[in-house]
């Protein structure tokens, strides 16, 4: 049975006297650094000089360390909060030379380690704390005395204290107020990639565009099509987010529920389910990771072309015009 850890299971004393070096002061890094400091943990921020992140970290009162190797040398817990494909160079060039027994590497996503791009020595702790929400939400809930659930994994426990320190780090973020859910690097990485590709980004965006094209191609107004297949999606997703699928069905019309129950399986049919298995297989055997790393090595030509094609889709122009009619989107 999956273990879930709460406040009573973690002790901040496990981080007492230790320094956390936070690499990258973006949305994720800022939220974690602020929560850690507010929980009594000593934090250094590693950012390149004269960047927006460095300026904001200075405004927030953090000690800034520009040299990545120095941050690795001075830190006991090294929080690698940079993008997946940036972790390999950071680790090889700056962190690996400074690793000593007793240090702990902390990841927020398992991609680089799971696919062998980062290979820590056996005498350091390797853990992961993966928040199930963006950085801004992690910070906002913490300030309000609540928390965002996180996944926790220990890949290497060289010191014998990796679990204690990982749980303490999660508690310092506020995660144990909601729950720290045990996982491992393989499970987190593969399910995260699959969720992004099949539902959260790839599946959803392509279904929205295809549905828009179907309605407009049948002669319906683009504005009406936009509202039906994109704008109202948030309303339904919010209901699912707050109440689950069954709870969502309790809160919409019976006509909508009947269409959901009878037509949904025709949209996501046996062929779609087979292709979902194919996509998962490409993640599991490393084909997607190799493809993405090769794409980056070539300067991302396909990525840029597909991104531009998406930006030029007719639904984007219609959406910009309609969203301008709803100024409350931009308030604050």
Q: Give yes or no for a contact between 122 and 158, defined as CB atoms under 8 angstroms apart.
A: yes
- Judge whether 48 is annotated as a binding position: yes
Name the CA dihedral angle for 65, 69, 75, 81, rounded to a multiple of 10 degrees. Answer: 80
Name the CA dihedral angle for 215, 220, 226, 229, rounded to a multiple of 10 degrees. Answer: -40
Q: Give yes or no for a contact between 45 and 19, defined as CB atoms under 8 angstroms apart.
A: no
Please enumerate in sequence order all residues whose Cβ is within 8 A of that of 239, keeping only pairs 6 or more positions apart, or say none. Answer: 247, 248, 251, 252
First to last CA, the chain: 43
- Judge whether 192 is annotated as a binding position: yes
- Judge whether 232 is annotated as a binding position: yes
- Judge whether 39 is annotated as a binding position: no
Q: What φ, ψ does residue 127 adopt, rounded to 5°?
A: -135, 170
C-alpha span between 188 and 155 (Å, rounded)? 12
- Judge whether 188 is annotated as a binding position: no
- Judge whether 123 is annotated as a binding position: no
Burial (CB < 10 A; 0-12, 13-18, 19+), residue 244, is: exposed
- Give 264-285 as a DSSP string: HHHHS-HHHHHHHHHHHHHHHT
322-327 long-range Cβ contacts below 8 angstroms, 24+ apart: 322/223, 322/226, 322/227, 322/231
| Antiparallel, parallel or unpaired: β 125-131 and 150-156 | antiparallel
- Judge whether 223 is annotated as a binding position: no
> Would you please indicate which residues are annotated as catalytic (active-site) residues?
109
Binding residues for substrate: 253
Residue ranges at the known binding site: 48, 135, 192, 196, 228, 232, 253
Known binding-site positions for Mg(2+)? 192, 196, 228, 232
- Residues within the annotated binding site for NADP(+)? 48, 135
């Amino acid at each position: 049975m999956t273990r879930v850890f709460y406040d009573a299971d973690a002790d901040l004393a496990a981080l007492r006297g230790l320094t956390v070096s936070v690499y990258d002061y973006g949305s994720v890094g800022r939220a974690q650094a602020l929560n850690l400091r507010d929980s009594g943990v000593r934090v250094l921020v590693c950012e390149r000089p004269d960047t927006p992140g460095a300026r904001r970290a200075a405004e927030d009162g953090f000690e800034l360390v520009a040299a990545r190797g120095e941050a690795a040398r001075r830190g006991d817990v090294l929080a690698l909060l940079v993008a997946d494909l940036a972790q390999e160079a950071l680790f090889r060039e700056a962190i690996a030379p400074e690793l000593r027994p007793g240090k702990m590497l902390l990841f927020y996503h398992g991609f680089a380690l799971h696919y062998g791009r980062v290979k820590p020595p056996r005498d350091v702790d390797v853990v992961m704390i993966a928040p199930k929400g963006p950085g801004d939400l992690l910070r906002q809930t913490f300030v309000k005395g609540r928390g965002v659930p996180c996944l926790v994994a220990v890949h290497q426990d060289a010191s014998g204290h990796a679990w204690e320190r990982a749980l303490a780090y999660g508690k310092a973020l506020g995660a144990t107020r909601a729950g720290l859910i045990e996982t491992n690097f393989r499970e987190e990485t593969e399910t995260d990639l699959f969720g992004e590709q099949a539902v959260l980004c790839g599946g959803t965006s392509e279904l929205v565009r295809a549905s828009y094209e179907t309605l407009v191609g049948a002669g319906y107004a683009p504005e009406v099509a936009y509202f039906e297949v994109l704008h109202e999606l948030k309303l339904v997703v919010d209901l699912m987010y707050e109440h689950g699928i069954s709870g969502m069905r309790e809160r919409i019309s019976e006509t909508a529920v009947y269409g959901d129950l009878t037509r949904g399986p025709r949209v996501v049919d046996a062929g779609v389910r087979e292709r979902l298995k194919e996509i998962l297989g490409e993640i599991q055997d490393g084909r997607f990771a190799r493809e993405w790393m090769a794409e980056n090595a070539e300067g991302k030509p396909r990525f840029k072309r597909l991104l531009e094609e998406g930006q030029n889709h007719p639904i984007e122009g219609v959406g910009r015009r309609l969203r301008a009619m709803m100024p409350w989107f931009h308030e604050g």
